[in-house]
Amino acid sequence: MLTIKTLLTQLSIHQEATIHGWVKNKRGSKNVIFVTLQDGSCFSPLQVVIDPTQFKENLCKQITVGASLRITGKIVASPGGEQQKELSATHITILGHAPSDYPLQPKRHTLAFMRTIQHLRLRTNTFSAVFRVRHALSYAIHTFFHQKGFLWIHTPIITSVDAEGAGEVFGITSKEKEGNFFGKKVALTVSGQLPGEAAALSLGKIYTFGPTFRAENSNTPRHLAEFWMVEPEIAFYTLKENIALAIDMIKYCLRHALTHCKEEMAFLEKRMMYENKQKGQSTTRPLREHLTAIVSKDFTHITYTDAIALLKEVHTKAPQHFPDGIVPWGEDLQTTHERYLTKHFDGGVVVTNYPKGIKAFYMRQNDDGKSVAAMDILLPDVGEIVGGSQREERLDLLKAAITHMGLDLKELAWYLDTRRFGTVPHSGFGLGFERLVLLVTGMDNIRDVIPFPRTPNHAMC
């Protein structure tokens, strides 16, 4: 079946072609009708020219915005249009009608409105661009790891382990077995890391890339209850090598989108500038320039302790930056603090060596006895995009941390085996895939970069 992409890029003027698609727009007069048709094969639509005198009047009336058509015609040169080619129709079949209550009539719609029609919003330019970029970024991630010799491991979605130990899990029950199908309590996974570690400690370099679930009641533009995470895990890696890998991967993805999604990126940049202008923020850097700046600059490395000291110093001189003040050493940085750091250093920031009390049990304890070999990567606009660490490979310290955090040693016996039998230093991280898509597309809300978002009180289809 011929697609619009093939027609536009490979066919020549005067050739005959049959294409299928949905009507995006229709305009014209008694003498000529112009229809823009899209089929999803590329970002650009195809313009079809119809001479109404050659068709039944009733058929022309049924060509409405949202309807689906099969059109045969001749490819002709487009006079003065944005494209070089258009199709002059000779045969038209209406495949599916779209009555006048079709919600995506050609006018500007708000993103909030489009969230109420998630099943249709993919037909708009904005969402077509966003999801093409999302695809390109998934492809870039797989390519990046494949080229480096990593294996993609599919870790379980149903699990009995709360890897982050934060208690933010969605439990699963089965009606048939009175909720006890597995003979124990299970939930949707919050992270593929722990089974990922077992795989890395056998296969060397692995990554997971799949859906993860968190029942945190965070109704923010950066949180989803179901999101996709990329989690590499590497045997023999130290924290330093882990950080270098994460930065390399982020930069690879940004470069990939800039090189391979030119049309989409140009559109998203224009969209973002329009939105910013509406909000009175016309001074922000154009999207592509912004991403190029992140790629070309070294990320700043700072320890958690130094970050707190820096924020305190700023707060003393300019308290207006932090209306809620600065957290004391030992507490997690707040979004305002993270944002400030990326602005202050004008680019990516890696914060290391967090207090052990605010991080998960599996992180490697530092010699100071207070902090762990953790790292978070913060990026402008999106804040925390990566969380990772060197893992605790010493059995006794790991057991102590598990017990201290109130987790069940027996439930984690299989995990402890990886430390009992040939333990080695190893590291890994998790990148929130939607936060990467947010950054690259310049969208504001995480609900607009996953096709069907799940958030508190929202789970359409």
Q: Which amino acid is at 163?
A: A
Member of 347, 432, 442, 453 binding ligand 4AD (CB under 6 A): 432
Assess 449 for contact with ligand 4AD (CB under 6 A).
no
Nearer to ligand 4AD, 348 or 430 (CB): 430
Q: Which of 163, 234, 245, 326 binds ligand 4AD (CB under 6 A)?
A: 163
What is the C-alpha separation between 395 and 418, in angstroms, rounded? 9
Structure tokens at 415: 């995990």
333 binds ligand 4AD (CB under 6 A): no
CA dist., res. 304 & res. 5, Å (int) = 49
- Rounded to whole angstroms, the Cα distance separating 433 from 77 reads 42
| Neighbour tally for 372: CB within 10 Å | 28
Distance (Å, whole) CA 141 – CA 434: 13
Q: Output the smallest distance, CB 267 to ligand 4AD, in A.
A: 25
Contact status: 385 vs ligand 4AD (CB under 6 A): yes
Which of 434, 448, 449, 453 is close enough to bind ligand 4AD by CB under 6 A?
A: 434
Given ligand 4AD, Mg ion, none, residue 229, with its beta carbon under 5 to 8 Å by kind, binds ligand 4AD
- Determine if 304 is a binding residue for ligand 4AD (CB under 6 A): no
Contact track, ligand 4AD, 338-377, x by CB under 6 A: ----------------------------------------
153 contacts ligand 4AD (rule: CB under 6 A) = no
Task: Indicate whether 427 belongs to the interface with ligand 4AD (CB under 6 A).
Answer: no
| Partner whose footprint covers residue 432, from Mg ion, ligand 4AD, none (CB < 5 to 8 Å by kind) | ligand 4AD
DSSP sequence for 215-267: -----STT--SEEEEEEEEEET--HHHHHHHHHHHHHHHHHHHHHH-HHHHHH
Footprint on residues 386-445 left by Mg ion (CB under 5 A): 387
At a CB cut-off of 8 Å and minimum separation 6, what does 378 contact? 338, 341, 342, 348, 349, 350, 351, 384, 385
CA angle 247, 253, 258 (to 5 degrees): 125
Cα separation, 27 vs 439, whole angstroms: 36
**Least distance CB 10 / ligand 4AD (angstroms):** 40
Say which DSSP state 329 is in.
T
Closest approach, Cβ 435 to Mg ion, in A, equals: 11
Q: How do 46-50 and 85-96 pair as beta strands?
A: parallel
Q: Is 430 in the site for ligand 4AD (CB under 6 A)?
A: yes
Q: What would the x/- binding string for ligand 4AD be over residues 189 to 228, using CB under 6 A?
A: --x-x--------------------x-x------xx--x-
Q: At what angle do helices 262-278 and 239-260 cross, to 10 degrees?
A: 90
Residue with CB nearest Mg ion? Answer: 387
Nearer to ligand 4AD, 45 or 387 (CB): 387
Size of the site for ligand 4AD (CB under 6 A): 22
Residues in the chain, total: 461
Which neighbouring-strand residues pair with 186? 172
Q: Which residues bind ligand 4AD (CB under 6 A)?
A: 163-164, 191, 193, 214, 216, 223-224, 227, 229, 231, 384-388, 428-430, 432, 434-435
